[in-house]
Structure 1
Amino acid sequence: MLDQKPSATRRIPIVIATVVIGGLAGFAALYGLGLNRAPSGDPACKPAVARAQKLAPLAHGEVAALTMASAPLKLPDLTFEDADGKPRKLSDFRGKTVLVNLWATWCVPCRKEMPALDQLQAKLSGPDFEVVAINIDTRDPEKPKNFLKDADLTRLGYFTDQKAKVFQDLKAIGRALGMPTSVLVDPQGCEIATIAGPAEWASDDALKLIRAALGPAAASL
């Protein structure tokens, strides 16, 4: 009489097929639950993405390196100190469009960029806009202050983070790859655009883009 039991060599493919089918079924179940989907971002930041797309044609010339927001992203509530050593947060500037800039005295492109940021602050600062330039020198706290004083950069407010945590916070969301780094932030704290490296912020190209970001009220600035 012939043995009707499947041989060991026949059972192996059956077992493998069962495992594969089970794995696919499990994957399908996860897919159905939506666990494989990427986060959609903060819905409150969708208007910032729409604004970024409208501004995209203006990102040329001196601000051609700007990367416009393509997905909703609310920035972390960055913490730092002002010139008096008082704690400040990015959320303190809610209601304003803000250009957050990270700089350091050891960063040559940063130092070269600071006069343009100072001029931008002089031309556009007010109830709707602010340049928030945060120094991240971690050693001598007087060095960045003396740099600003010696260069007669008096329009910018002085903000500092001697632990450089602001850089790490932006790096964690992929918005700080080097120095300097600047992020244009809408009044709700959402990203409009980011640039890695310096820009000529006092140029006509930059002023036109930022005025457009502020809306019709900024046309006369």
Structure 2
Amino acid sequence: MALELCLRSTIALLLVAAGLIGGCDRQSGPERQAEAANAAATGVAPAPGASATPATTAASGSPAAAPMADKLDRSHKGEAAPTLPFTDAAGKKRTLADFRGKPVLLNLWATWCAPCVKEMPTLDALAAREGERLQVVTVSQDFEPAKVAPFFEKAQLHKLPPFVDSDLAFGTQLGVNLPATILYDSRGREVWRMLGENDWASEAAAKLIAEAR
């Protein structure tokens, strides 16, 4: 019986992981196509794990992405923030309730997710701009949590604490693919969630975040 329960738990975790990876792959599909096209044109294959150079808009140089309205989901408005624990850099267990009293922007991401990595600098810029008015909480869904802190150091993300969720519990309970960003008000109630990559340093993002009180 114990062996059967263990096998079931392992299968469930693998299914969750496959869903997270699948969602991230769908987000980065155009980049993979760009890499293939470039390799065909130049005869040089991309390095393993490398991603194509992001497409940019002529006006701002920001990563090209689907319109924000297409990724915005308000169907969970008013729902309470999950009470799931995650771990800070010192190994201490934390929950979103620790940040109650000010709006919280929760971002679920992973080092292996190209769209997630691409938007991280804009989240860091947002945290620097908002200061004490908003708590930006990035919770890694990495299978290898030890990769998170070195990634933050290499990317020079100075305003984002490297939180990790080694159980992948957030992605499971919230039923989202990566990257996913959810805004909670100061009472811990959901305002909206953004499914997919976004430029969090933009004016459009600032207007959406201002909805939280």
| TM-score using structure 1 length | 0.62
SS in 2 for 1:76: coil
Matching residue within 102, 105, 128 for 1:122: 128
| Structure 2: segments with no counterpart, 5+ residues | 1-65
How far is the alpha carbon of 1:69 from its aligned partner? 4.3
Aligned to 1:76: 82
- When residues 123 and 163 of structure 1 are mapped into structure 2, their CA distance, relative to the original with a 3 A threshold, is same
Distance in 2 between the 1:207 and 1:163 partners? 31
How far is the alpha carbon of 1:63 from its aligned partner? 3.1
Kindly report structure 1 stretches of 4+ aligned residues shifted beyond 6 Å. Answer: none
RMSD over aligned Cα, in angstroms?
A: 1.7
Name the amino acid aligned to 1:76.
Answer: P
C-alpha offsets along residues 138-189 of structure 1, whole Å, 9 cap, x if unaligned?
22x3322111111111111111111111211212xxxx1x101111011111
Distance in 2 between the 1:76 and 1:208 partners? 24
Name the amino acid aligned to 1:104.
Answer: A
Name the amino acid aligned to 1:98.
Answer: V
Aligned to 1:155: 159
Distance in 1 between the 2:203 and 2:78 partners? 28
- When residues 153 and 71 of structure 1 are mapped into structure 2, their CA distance, relative to the original with a 3 A threshold, is closer
Aligned to 2:118: 112
Aligned to 1:134: 139
How far is the alpha carbon of 1:78 from its aligned partner? 2.4
Please identify the structure whose Cα radius of gyration is greater: 1
Q: How many residues align?
A: 147
Aligned to 2:7: none
Name the amino acid aligned to 2:89.
Answer: A
Name the amino acid aligned to 2:208.
Answer: L
How far is the alpha carbon of 1:212 from its aligned partner? 4.4
Distance in 2 between the 1:119 and 1:62 partners? 20
The question of whether the paired residues in 2 share the 8 Å contact of 1:98 and 1:187 is answered with yes
- When residues 110 and 70 of structure 1 are mapped into structure 2, their CA distance, relative to the original with a 3 A threshold, is closer
Name the amino acid aligned to 2:90.
Answer: D
The question of whether the paired residues in 2 share the 8 Å contact of 1:181 and 1:195 is answered with yes
- When residues 131 and 71 of structure 1 are mapped into structure 2, their CA distance, relative to the original with a 3 A threshold, is closer
- When residues 94 and 151 of structure 1 are mapped into structure 2, their CA distance, relative to the original with a 3 A threshold, is same
| Structure 1: segments with no counterpart, 5+ residues | 1-60, 215-221
Distance in 1 between the 2:123 and 2:186 partners? 19
| TM-score using structure 2 length | 0.64
Distance in 2 between the 1:100 and 1:148 partners? 17
Structure-to-structure mapping, 1:29-44, within 5 angstroms = none
Q: Percent identity?
A: 41
Structure-to-structure mapping, 1:201-216, within 5 angstroms = 201-214=200-213
